[in-house]
Structure 1
Amino acid sequence: MSDIVILGVFVADTSYRADRQPRMGETIMGRSFALGPGGKGSNQAVAAARAGGAVTFVSKLGRDTFGDMAMAAWAEAGVTPAVERGDGYTGAAYIFVEESTGNNAIIIAPGAAAGIDATFIDAHADAIRRAKVFVTQLEQPMDAAHRALRLARDGGATTILNPAPAAELPDGMLALCDYVTPNETEAEALTGIAVTDVASARRAGDALLAAGVARAAVLTLGDKGALYHDGDTSLLVPPYNAGAVVETTGAGDAFNGGFATALAEGMDPQDAVRFGCATASISVTRPGTAPSMPDRSEIDALLAG
């Protein structure tokens, strides 16, 4: 039995680096191209497993080359797959990375994972209910995420919602979440509060708690780090200096995977945020998403240093 169960999407990342994005109708020359495993849920599962967690990943794939890539990536990281492989295509993502900054823009086509529904979730109810920590995002259909959070809460799991990509949530969904982990854009979408600095992040955290989040809002703030906000304690954890930033694409997923692993090990939530920040700080020094996730020895060394 896995301590951590993650529901989400795998996509094959097609990553293009260039000086800028092309305008509509324009063709430009790129600096480089890479193909690799991605998808927020899958990235988080890889991050959690490499950080030392026992992880099961629940999803759907196609019977195609990209699906084979997913299975190989999970095997290498030590993730246990709980997947259905059907006739649809495995998802893919277009990722543009700005050469000078490492910032990114992404388009996702979820493919077979778009067929994840409440019936599919019920087929994996036992694993979800038995988890210590359950994590999901919003790349798969909303009703599936909602159903899985309910099952996890009923089973006594600590529940984490990474509300990405930003979307309107059904009534009562935040009340099923012990922790919610938005970035600035997602926090604004959920609360209507523009998150431009730490003070506005705290106001957004208050709004998320008022909307029902059970334990804490944890806002990821890019190069400012992460804000842990539970109504009594508001703690900004800055990023760690792990080297020059190469690519930020998988940073949020690295944070969530590390955070989930730390919570599953029984760490205090504020220490779990520190662990997640260290995980993300290493990931941004490397290209790619899943391939950039650090192993436990690297995280421990950064925290100790």
Structure 2
Amino acid sequence: MTARITVIGSINMDLVTTTERFPDKGETLLGSDFQTIPGGKGANQAVAAAKLGADVTMIGCVGDDPFGEPLIKNLEKNRIHTSNVEPVTGVPTGIAVITVAENDNTIIVVPGANDHVTPEVVRQSEEAIKDSDVLLLQFEIPMESVKEAVRLADKNDTKVVLNPAPARPVDLDLLEQVDYITPNEHELKILLDSEEKKSFYDQNREKFFVTQGSKGVLYYDGEKEVLVPGYDVDVVDTTGAGDTFNGGFSVALAEGKTLEEACCYGNVVGALSVSQFGAQTGMPQREEVMKFLEKRV
């Protein structure tokens, strides 16, 4: 069964500079490389899922600047349906300024056209949501649009994976409506910013899948906490690792894998992605994942 995934989220061009170390405040360093690479959390997760064999629909916006058309073509090259990607006149495409150094990265995001993914844009795409096994969401589009997407998914019995990144406070009713929530440890602290939300977490821990980098993913199986361990690889670039995990996790869920299997699958694709340069360019194909798993049986 082919997994059917709809992703509503950001579409950015990543402006990536590589240097030996991060500059101090006010300091100028010479970089060793510069590249423009398709990115955005939404587009990244869509590409990750598509490379794993899913039938993926992307819903989002690009600008009418020189970055917009290449980003749409990049999605199409990855066999992603783009009829729900809208160019916005007079608005720049979203960008992310990324510095890669010391086996890590820093990122500044300028939303641009992503702020034009309005609730109306989401409503126009209800059929795609209805026809999906999983709806995958993040926080690089307006919050009211995320809420509308969750409402439509609930109306059409479509499972929702919410990756609450970049971290921001959210309404409790949003957490109540989604099926799976995938924060990292930092994002979880920001989500649980009130006693009411902490109480919700305690009573609904089976919804939360807390990513911990190379350590793996922590979730609650109804009786106890389970840490699904990560995989040791030679790290080249961590950009997009979380997005790759979410793409893999969503595909596994849509294919009917157990929660532990879905976490394991997400860990594998995330680990393979950091062993290559770039967010989307480093994401593994399904065949690579299967070979990796076969070697560890």
TM-score by shorter chain over 0.5: yes
Worse-superposed segment, 67-76 or 254-263: 67-76
Question: For the residues of structure 1 that align with 2:203 and 2:69, how far apart are their CA atoms?
Answer: 40
Maintained 8 Å contact 1:2/1:56: no
Structure 1 partner of 2:73 = 72
Could you list the per-position Cα deviations for residues 203-236 of structure 1 after superposition, in whole angstroms to 9, with x for gaps in the alignment? Answer: xx986634757x4211110121111224424221
Of 234, 244, 259, the residue aligned with 2:225 is 234
Per-residue deviation, 1:286? 0.5
The answer for unaligned runs of 5 or more in structure 2 is none
Maintained 8 Å contact 2:214/2:231: no
1:1-305 superposed matches below 5 A: 3-81=4-82, 82-87=84-89, 88-98=91-101, 100=102, 102-191=103-192, 209-210=201-202, 215-241=206-232, 243-305=233-295
SS of 1:84 mapped into structure 2 = strand
Question: For the residues of structure 1 that align with 2:32 and 2:164, how far apart are their CA atoms?
Answer: 32
Maintained 8 Å contact 2:3/2:255: no
2:38 maps to a residue whose letter is: P
Per-residue deviation, 1:137? 0.3
Maintained 8 Å contact 1:183/1:221: yes
SS of 1:259 mapped into structure 2 = helix
Question: For the residues of structure 2 that align with 1:21 and 1:210, how far apart are their CA atoms?
Answer: 38
**Percent identity of equivalent pairs:** 37
**Deviation above 4 Å: which 4+ runs of structure 1?**
205-208
The CA RMSD measured in Å over matched residues stands at: 2.0
Per-residue deviation, 1:2? 7.5
The answer for unaligned runs of 5 or more in structure 1 is 194-204
Question: For the residues of structure 1 that align with 2:60 and 2:266, how far apart are their CA atoms?
Answer: 23
SS of 1:300 mapped into structure 2 = helix
Question: For the residues of structure 2 that align with 1:104 and 1:192, how far apart are their CA atoms?
Answer: 26
TM-score (norm 1): 0.90
The count of residues paired between Structure 1 and Structure 2 equals: 290
Question: For the residues of structure 1 that align with 2:134 and 2:229, how far apart are their CA atoms?
Answer: 24
Maintained 8 Å contact 2:249/2:265: yes
Per-residue deviation, 1:263? 0.9
SS of 2:111 mapped into structure 1 = strand
Per-residue deviation, 1:130? 2.4
SS of 2:34 mapped into structure 1 = strand
SS of 2:85 mapped into structure 1 = strand
